[in-house]
Structure 1
Amino acid sequence: MTRRRLGRAGCVRLASHPSVEAAVVELARSTYGRQVRPGQTLSEVQRAVVDVTAWNVRVLAGWVPREGVTVLRVLIAVLEAANVQDHLERLAGGQPPAPFRLGGLATAWPRLQRTTSAPGLRRALAASAWGDPGGESPREITLWLRTTLADRVVAAVPEAGAWASGATALLVAREVVLEGRRLPERARLAASRVIGPAAVSATSLPELAAALPARARWALAGVERPDALWRAEARWWARVDADATALVRHAGTGRGVLVGAVALLAVDAWRVRAALEVAARGGGPTEALDAVA
């Protein structure tokens, strides 16, 4: 399955194209050609890249035992959260793209998709494995999904626990420190279970970094100013790449190799999307792409 990636070299080549149209022509000849077609816009092809990744994870689900399916359901829940966020936009009168197709790996999406109002969506979430977000505003629901998913990953997929902890640290850095907005109460409680209440209460990057547990501290290493957070977010993907590569190489046939394979597919999708952004801006290497590719 990991051979279905475009890889670092392929992403650099993709980014070298002088236009997104030229990049899409090449990408359509790759494994992403299942959903990528010449003529798609940048946003359409980026969405298609993630759709292909979701399809690959669903294929994996057909090969693994029941325990493995449980792991995959937790890992792919990030796309269910994205579907819910898009559904909130749809309920507000927007026209987001079609939902990611999760099949049997969905946690509660078929029920959530049928809701016709934000209060109804909150009730459906509360009755599902996601739990009550504590409010019905888009921010309350979105942050609850992100933080409670991190909590679930730490508990159910320990191989990915450091990634979830690092992601939560970055979320707090951006939402609380950079934007100066306290997390909604339910999201705050979920984040506290992942990185500790002191970290969630921090109001500066040094304070946050000092309060983080060891498994999350790496995410903010060397980040002293809020405007450098984008580097930390790119470095998060680099850490996932390195850890996942080690899992695939050394975990044998256990769940570790499964977690590693899914993570490598996700990293590749991130790189491809970044490379397409570079091509859309005229092509050539950029610091952001170099950070992970």
Structure 2
Amino acid sequence: MSAGWVAGATRARAMAAARAGPRAARELATAPSLSEALRHLANTVYRRGLDVTAGPGQAQRAVSDALLWQLRVLAGWQPGPGAAAVRLLASGFEIANTRDRLRSLAGAPQPPPYRLGALATAWPRLSRAASPAQVRAVLAASAWGDPGSGTPGALLTGMRLSAAARTAAHVPVAAHWAAGEAALVTAREVHLTGHRLTGTARQDAVRLLGTAAVGASAFKEFRARLPASARWALEGVEEPKDLWRAEARWWPSVERDAASMLAGARFDLSPVVGAAAALGADAWRVRAALECAAQGGRALEDFDELVG
């Protein structure tokens, strides 16, 4: 046991314990208005950069910004392997930045990018890409790999599957989550939108899901051929149109696993990964609660069904 792991795991547990939690999220969801919910939120770890007069989109972005800051702090306390694991688990922020960059190249306004700091993999170079082809070239020359196509959708799908494959390979305690994520991404891309996986994206999907599942021509066949490590993510989903429910249930499942990782007195990678996952799940639930409050509680039934 090294001093670095002791400090890192101790900090991880403290940060996870300070998250808002399900009870606070439900209080936000049942607030009479978004502004009232934001006043409550100002008393939590999400107060950093929060504007209590913000609209729904701005408020949810502030929650995401606060989560990213927490992950940067968490990574900063870790030995090298722990920081690398947090970087992988925070890959969604670089994917979001890349999505916004691609949209801006198509003429849409580009919001301020997430400030990734040491959690970046290729973002400084991606931010300077002047076309989707250049985005693809930057990805191909980085740990992300070449997604096999230069269309914006293929680029982002390739990034998501790359993140899942690298997480499974380098963060074994999170491999179960990564396989479930890959199943959801592949199901949406192939069986909902009707696109094909190509290049490294297909290779990553095969690595996590198997050739039989990735080659399936129908959704039910795909689901039946998934390995047990990934099949859980699609449990109860009969049609591709219901994938959004499976995607929402992914987070509570991850959070339950994270609670087990945080329990006990281990001083290694496990509580660090558990803390990163617990913080991510908490932010997801808070964003859902703010959406509910913005709708005047009309989505409360869906909120309770999805987040418990």
Scaled by the length of structure 2, what TM-score is found?
Answer: 0.90
- Distance (whole Å) between structure 2 residues aligned to residue 238 and residue 46 of structure 1: 19
| Distance in structure 2 (CA, Å) of the matches to 1:290 and 1:271 | 12
> Does residue 112 of structure 2 align to residue 111 of structure 1?
no
Give the secondary structure class of the aligned counterpart of 1:286: helix
Q: Is the 8 A contact 1:240 1:267 kept in 2?
A: yes
Does residue 101 of the first structure (1) align with residue 140 of the second (2)?
A: no
Identify the match of residue 183 of structure 1 among 181, 194, 197: 197
CA contact (8 A) 1:25 1:37 kept: no
Within-5 A mapping of 1:148-167: 148-167=162-181
Specify which of 270, 293, 297 is matched with residue 256 of structure 1. 270
Give the deviation of 1:251 after TM superposition: 6.3
1:64 aligned residue (72, 78, 88): 78
Q: Report 1:126-145 matches (<5 A).
A: 126-145=140-159
Is the contact made by 1:5 and 1:31 (CA closer than 8 Å) also made in structure 2? yes
Equivalent in the alignment of 2:12:
none
Corresponding residue for 2:307? 292
Superposed counterparts of 1:185-200, under 5 Å: 185-200=199-214
Where does the alignment leave 5 or more consecutive residues of structure 1 unmatched?
Answer: none
| Cα-to-partner distance string for 1:207-242 (whole Å, 9 max, x where unaligned) | 112211111111112222333323222221111010
Letter in 1 for 2:281: V
Q: Is the 8 A contact 1:14 1:27 kept in 2?
A: yes
The structural deviation recorded for 1:205 is: 3.2
- 1:51 is matched with which residue: 39, 42, 65? 65
1:57 deviation in Å?
1.0
Partner of 2:216: 202
Distance in 1 between the 2:80 and 2:241 partners?
A: 44
Residue of structure 1 equivalent to 2:21: 7
Following superposition, the deviation at residue 75 of structure 1 comes to 1.2
> 71-80 vs 180-189, which deviates more?
180-189
Kindly indicate whether residue 280 of structure 2 is the aligned counterpart of residue 280 of structure 1. Answer: no
Q: For each residue in 1:26-74, what CA deviation from the matched residue of structure 2 results, as whole angstroms up to 9, or x when unmatched? A: 2123211102111111111111111111111111122111111111111
Query: Are residues 4 and 188 of structure 1, via their aligned partners in 2, closer, same or farther at CA, if it must alter by over 3 Å?
Result: same
Tell me if 1:268 matches 2:267: no
Q: What CA distance in whole angstroms lies between the structure 2 residues aligned with 1:234 and 1:135?
A: 28
Please report the RMSD computed on the Cα atoms of aligned residues, expressed in angstroms.
1.6
Aligned in 2, Cα 1:127/1:4: closer, same or farther, shift over 3 Å? same
Give identity over the alignment, percent.
47
* Residues 224-243 of structure 1 aligned to structure 2 (within 5 Å): 224-243=238-257
